[in-house]
Chain A
Amino acid sequence: MFRATLKSLLARKVRLVLSGLAVVLGVMFVSGAFVLTDTLGRSFDSLFADAYAEVDVNVAAKPKLAVNEFEGEQLQTPFPASVVDTVRAVPGVAEATGTVVADGARLIGSNGKVVASFGPPQLGGNWVGEGDLVQLREGREPRADDEIVINKGLADAGRVAVGDRVGVLTLAPRKDFTIVGIFGYSGDRDSLGGVNEVMFTTPTAQQLMLGEPGAFNNIVVTAASGVSDESLRDAVAAAVGDDYVVKTGEQLSADAAAGLKEGLTFFNRILLGFAAVALLVGTFLILNTFSIIVAQRTRELALLRAVGASARQIIGSVVLEAIAIGLIASLFGLAAGIGIGALLAYLFSNLAGGMALAGIAVPASAVIGAFGVGLVITVLAALLPALRAARIPPIAAMQDVATPDRPLTKITIAGAVVTSVGAVLLFLGLGGHAGGNTLATILGGVLFAFIGVALLTPLISKPVVAALGAVFSGWVPGKLGRLNSGRNPRRTAITAAALMVGIALVTGITVILDSAKSSISGLVQDNVRAELVIAGAQSGPRPPSFDPAVLDQTKAIPGVRLVDGQYGDIALLGDQRTWVGAVTEPAAMRQVYGATPVAGDIDRLAAGQMMISSDAAESRGLSVGSTVPVQFARGEPQTYTVTGVYESSPILGPVIMPADAARNFSITQPIQAFIQLEPGARVADVLPRVEALLANSPEVSVADRDAFIEEQTGQLDSLLTMIQILLALAIVIAVLGIINTLALSVLERTRELGLLRAIGLRRSQTMGMITVEAVVISVFGALLGVAVGTGLGAAVVEALREEGINKLVLPWGQMGIFLGLAALIGVIAAVLPAIRAARINVLGAIAHD
């Protein structure tokens, strides 16, 4: 039996290669994700090990407010210089150096723009001299307060050189400095993992990066010879007390790497999610291939049964075939995944300023993932056809037409049940009735919905294919093609369903994002009565900010009625972390943002007062007069009193404080400002004057309201593009499925094609016929996808109504593009099978048995 299986495998290599390719692509995605994250993880390890190699023990104050990897860089609390002396006096300390290291030193490059970071911090600190890690490549150390040294990577990115006068944004607005030196890192590196550094003299760094003269936020300690890092750590910790965190250099680098790895894990999950979609599509493809193979081998299998093979042996032979394909495909997928993972890691390291990559290795997770997923998917998909094969009666060997069209009743009932289960899960998940498993419930619902619709597809396929094909009915090859695509409803259905999955996801996500976009712009348009907005595009974790002096200067411009500058940060209110806004002009609440008062006064705020939304009031049990302890990123705990409650609105945050609270925010400068003009004042007159005021705040710009909306919603567009690129893989696999189905059909109908050619069908007409068949299948799949995607998208939008997504936007244009694209996909998928069909030797086809 084994030999027979192997032989039949080899005999059908082309179609197996095609369906195997689907598994290869899915497995590639899975193992690629693991290889990528493993390589990057180890690279981060070695990066931080290098960065902290010279640190035996590090002292830092306990942070006021711990932040995670997704919220930005941790703000380290400053402490007085006397702590450095305390540490230096600890026995076993050879040297203790007070350092300043903080995010937010933004250098203005030669093009007048801030050198952007797409993730890594922009560190500013005090220059403490060269060491094993840091060496000056050019120039000298900073001596005067307006002198800086910067790392080579930053100098290259900003196109600046020693001797240049450049602006740097810090806690303070722009200040100008002379670059007196450029440094690099051991191993000829220009940057450590894309991090850029601006080094000042110690007093300047204290002033600009910490906001506290004479303070430091880290102490680097080296141990005297013979003293272990651990014992030194314990001794230092005892000397400085509980308010400080003392770690060995090793701990420090492990913790820093762990933080980044948390981000990597998240990234890995996203990639695996897309891999799952690809594999779902691949499952359809394999199921289809095995069904066709079993159907084609009916006579052969029946003969085997007739000569004594048991049903089990038949199932075994089909499953064995699946295992063989699964193994081979997993192997290729793993190899391709290693390649892709390595390539992506290389691209990433280039993006991150030439981070040194750890060697590419194949983690066990990649191997287990590859073979687990590849084998399970293939065998699972082959199981149904195998069971069907086992039910072939021996008599089929003697009959001419072995498989009459089976009725679609059972499959339709199953489809209806599965679709209903999906709908119920979606309802529970989206309605927030799933307890803590909202995401899992929604994903399960989507999966069930896909499988259910796929099962219902054969039933739908007859009328839809007939309707679609009507377009071609005036043309004989077209008509033949249409009839062929309606010939085997199951096969057409599964092929189309495979395409449906990718298109449905893209459509659904487009519906959601377009609805969000239009809801956001609708909200701003309806509720924000400001003609001009100062804001910037955010590239990394840190939002852009600007000089607060601009606010007053803007207000002085004739024609400006009101200016509200906004600050924002996370703070601890009581024991809950909350996003807190601070505003320079509380009167804007009603006049600009159309807030409705619920209780108290929402038109003014004095120091120590705050207003909150009605939702926040309800969920925290607060009302006017309540007092709440607040801990900001900086400073000591404070008490705020609620003086006003406004009705919750998607454009207003939960908590609003007066501008002086921003002193203690991690970013102490405003990040946005809304400008309302006097009636009759013209935007065109005011805008250039505000623009001029922003000359020294290059991170932001002023725009009219429409341009602001455009910019805000533009970020959703790039998200959409990224998702579409990742889902394209699922669509590629579906195209393989169409090619596969067509190739098999051509093979099956060799004789028929020969007959058609014999009675005068031209080669071009033959190709036209196959192409129409492909186009009908793919457009059918796209139609299904658009319909299912719209349904899913609309359901999600409905569930997000509370969050302010109150407009359902159906992207008709996009849907049209998908359908057009599907037609094109059909044409492309048909190319090879059509050529093959056209090349069929007429005599060979009709003479062949």
Chain B
Amino acid sequence: MTATTGEPASVAARASDVWKVYGSGEAQVMALRGVSAEFERGRFTAIMGPSGSGKSTLMHCLAGLDTVTRGTVQVGETTVTGLGDAGLTKLRRDKVGFIFQQFNLLPTLTAKENILLPLSIAGRKPDPAWYDVVIETVGLRDRLDHRPAQLSGGQQQRVACARALVARPEVIFADEPTGNLDSRSGAEVLNFLRNSVREHGQTIVMVTHDPTAAAYADRVVFLADGQIVSELIEPTADTVLDTMKKLDTPAEVAR
């Protein structure tokens, strides 16, 4: 399996001059101030920045979970900005996968049912070969009939990853996927995400504030105060930490 999709563009998601303003008047917060960024197909990009810098907001806007105040967002060929609920639902079904920090699974369904849920909702059949590959990579074959309550936090998050992967979306957005995990389970999940990019050409955009997690990515984009301030290709934990330190202005800390 290699990253050969029929689409001509090599960009999986794109933000063009995106502004996001919350509230108004006194309480007004500018979460994003003119962010422009491209996320290439078949790459693992991390979005980093201090708390409150706008990472989640950017991800939500990219994924069509939130509307932008100004600017446009594209996922693949689709212009997300301006889509209605039906359009957004279709986008989420066909083009986008999600991995959240917590509460990721339906407690009533087994692991297998959770993994297949997006496909069954859309009324599609899984590609059996690809399903096998995903299950194999996540390493949960003997846990497929368990319910979330019977799985550890790391296992649950791996099920969530498998669920995002099995539909082969254009891009998977992950918001602090390891935020609730201990370091070993976190490493498992991150390895798994990196492998799915390297071996299967999946596109992943991951929000994190953990330099170790960011080091798993191919590229790191740094946000501060709602703006992209820096970028690293082929990062290591050390280079990320260095960049972070430079960005850590006293004003940000005070926030």
Contacts and interface: CB of A to CB of B under 8 A. Distances in A.
Contact of B106 (A486, A756, A842): A756
A758 interface: yes
A476 B121 contact: yes
B100 A755 contact: yes
Interface in A832-849: 842-843, 846-847
Given A484-B108, A752-B103, A758 B93 contact: no
Interface string B116-148: 011011110000000000000000000000000
B104 interface: yes
Contacts of A842: 65
Contacts of A763: 85, 89
A480 B108 contact: yes
A536 B146 CA distance: 72
B56 interface: yes
A269 interface: no
B29 interface: no
Contacts of A846: 65, 100, 103
A487 B97 CA distance: 27
A127 B8 CA distance: 108
B163 interface: yes
Given A752-B106, A847-B56, A759 B163 contact: yes
A351 to B, nearest CB: 54
B60 interface: yes
A759 B103 contact: no
B198 interface: no
A483 interface: yes
Given A476-B120, A765-B121, A843-B65, A759 B92 contact: yes
Contact of B108 (A487, A757, A758, A761): A487
B149 interface: yes
Interface string A402-417: 0000000000000000
Contacts of A751: 103
Interface string A589-615: 000000000000000000000000000
A480 B106 contact: yes
A59 to B, nearest CB: 83
Interface in A371-394: none
Contacts of A486: 108
B103 A761 contact: no
Interface size range on B against A: 20 to 34
A758 B109 contact: no
Nearest to A477: B121
A494 to B, nearest CB: 20
Nearest to B89: A762
B118 A759 contact: yes
B117 A759 contact: yes
B65 A758 contact: yes
A760 B122 contact: yes
A747 to B, nearest CB: 15
A790 to B, nearest CB: 33
Identify which of A483, A751, A756, A758 gathers the most chain B CB atoms within 10 Å of its CB: A758
A380 B109 CA distance: 37
B222 interface: no
A760 B100 contact: no
A585 to B, nearest CB: 75
Given A752-B106, A756-B121, 18 more contacts: A401-B149, A476-B117, A476-B120, A480-B106, A480-B108, A752-B107, A755-B106, A756-B117, A758-B92, A759-B92, A759-B163, A760-B89, A760-B122, A761-B89, A762-B86, A765-B121, A843-B65, A846-B100
Nearest 9 A/B pairs, CB to CB: A760-B93, A483-B108, A843-B65, A759-B118, A476-B120, A760-B92, A751-B103, A843-B66, A762-B89
Interface of B: 56, 60, 65-66, 85-86, 89-90, 92-94, 97-98, 100, 103-104, 106-109, 117-118, 120-123, 149, 163
15 contacts: A477-B121, A480-B106, A483-B108, A483-B109, A755-B106, A756-B106, A758-B92, A758-B98, A759-B117, A760-B92, A760-B93, A760-B94, A760-B121, A760-B122, A847-B60
